[in-house]
Chains A and B, each alone.
Chain A
Amino acid sequence: MSCQRLEKSLWDAAAGVSSPGAAAHLSTCGSCRAALAAERALLDRIDSELQESLDIQPSMAFLPAVRRRVAEVRAERDTTRRWWPVPALATLAGILAVGHLMIHTAPTPTLPVPSTARPAEGPAVRAAVPFEPMTTRAREGAPASIPQEVAARDTRQDVAHDNRLETTETQSMPRVFVPPEDAEAVRRLALRLRGHAARAAVMGPDVEGPFDFTLKPIEERPEVVTVDHRVPWGTEPSLEEPPSFDRILENAGRET
């Protein structure tokens, strides 16, 4: 083996992994023996420096500090163990409270209640208010009955509705009234159409133009149907010929 070849495996030789060829060469070559010795010295120094550097003890305050920290951890754990039901119960109570609120503040049936917040509908409608109870040819001559709202009524909300009727009577939003005998039919219609986007165009005898509204069910409260007014008075009539109210009622009655 030559000196050049040994140089490549010098480190292995220094680390104690040498081949028989390298050993033979080292026994005859003084310079390679010197290089090997230098390499071994370097490795020894590396090892000893590492060992010396790491031969270090923590300060006297280390173990007491660790014990304090461990005591903190223990105290936190004990506190958590003792008080864990509190946040759990608080969370549960919160969930129940929110659920209760959601149930009791579910949207009430909203009728097209006029408000100053909807000024666009105001002036144009005011003139058209004298809206008579819906009559059909068959009911002509019947005494004008107390108006009832088209929307199926939530009996629990009757008082509120009546109040609202009174307060809005003088205002200009279009209201749809039906005779009491028709209310049930409309209610059935609304229920029948539950889950569909039902639209009915109703032509009143004294009304010019269509009156569009949507019967919209409130989820999980099938008995409550809101009337969502879409087209205020004075807007362009629908191009489609709206079905007559009688027809709608008739179809609804047949389907139910």
Chain B
Amino acid sequence: MSQSLEAAVESLVSRADEADLDVEFEERLKDSGAIAFRVAYGVLRHREDAEDVAQEALARAYQGFRQMRDRGRFRSWLVRICWRLALDHQRAATRRVRREQESPVTSGPSDLEPAPCDNEFRARLWEAVAALPEKLRLVVVLAGIQGHDLKEVGELLGVPHGTVRSRMHAARKRLAEALR
């Protein structure tokens, strides 16, 4: 086989691989796009910000998708990326708000402001969730998303079921104490 032909074949194979990869990623996107958004929303409580963060998380997931060995773990991987990005976004927004408050110039509504809650109880609940330690907070949000299927939460987090249960127990106890 001549060198040019070999290169052409290699290029075709590479393109086919790329196409396969894109098809597979599209499937993952349809399957996991919503959970990425919800995880971000569970931290940020702001629809547009949550969409931005989820979008960025999915773009990063795409960047690393080729190197991912166990693609069955994609969902759990995406949740972790999204959670981390959402927390970063929240911290950045907190810093920005603090700077704006320190500066004499008054500004408009900040990104940190969550969407208005329907009721006072829900507002207090999310305040209490935000005050939870990160591990407990993640379990609460994922359990909320997954309809309290703790087994699935454990799979998403890659931790044993018992650990998830104990974290959930501790989290609910703290929430109940805060809301009683």
User: Would you call B173 and A49 a contact (CB within 8 A)?
Assistant: no
Any A CB within 8 A of the CB of B67: no
User: Would you call B180 and A53 a contact (CB within 8 A)?
Assistant: no
Chain A 231-247 per-residue mask, 1 if CB under 8 angstroms from chain B, else 0: 00000000000000000
Count A-B pairs with CB separation below 8 Å. Answer: 95
The stretch of A57-65, A85-93, A153-161 that contacts the partner chain = A57-65
Distance, CA A67 to CA B58, complexed state (A): 9
Chain A 1-41 per-residue mask, 1 if CB under 8 angstroms from chain B, else 0: 00000000001001101000000000000000000000100
Chain B 37-58 per-residue mask, 1 if CB under 8 angstroms from chain A, else 0: 1100110010100110011101
Any A CB within 8 A of the CB of B33: yes
Question: Secondary structure at chain B's binding surface: helix, strand, loop or mixed?
Answer: helix
Any A CB within 8 A of the CB of B92: no
User: Would you call B173 and A66 a contact (CB within 8 A)?
Assistant: no
The stretch of A69-77, A114-122, A125-133 that contacts the partner chain = A69-77
The stretch of B68-76, B99-107, B139-147, B155-163 that contacts the partner chain = B139-147
User: Would you call B37 and A62 a contact (CB within 8 A)?
Assistant: yes
User: Would you call A11 and B173 a contact (CB within 8 A)?
Assistant: yes
Looking at A45, A50, A67, the one whose CB has the most chain B CB atoms below 10 A away is A50
Distance, CA A74 to CA B147, complexed state (A): 35
Residue of B nearest to A65 (CB): B55
Any A CB within 8 A of the CB of B91: no
Any A CB within 8 A of the CB of B179: yes
Contacts of A54 in B (CB 8 A): 38, 41-42, 141, 144-145
12 contacts between A and B (CB under 8 A): A11-B176, A39-B176, A43-B172, A46-B179, A50-B125, A54-B41, A57-B37, A58-B33, A58-B47, A62-B33, A63-B30, A73-B59
Nearest 7 A-B pairs (CB), nearest first? A50-B144, A58-B37, A54-B144, A69-B59, A70-B62, A66-B58, A54-B145
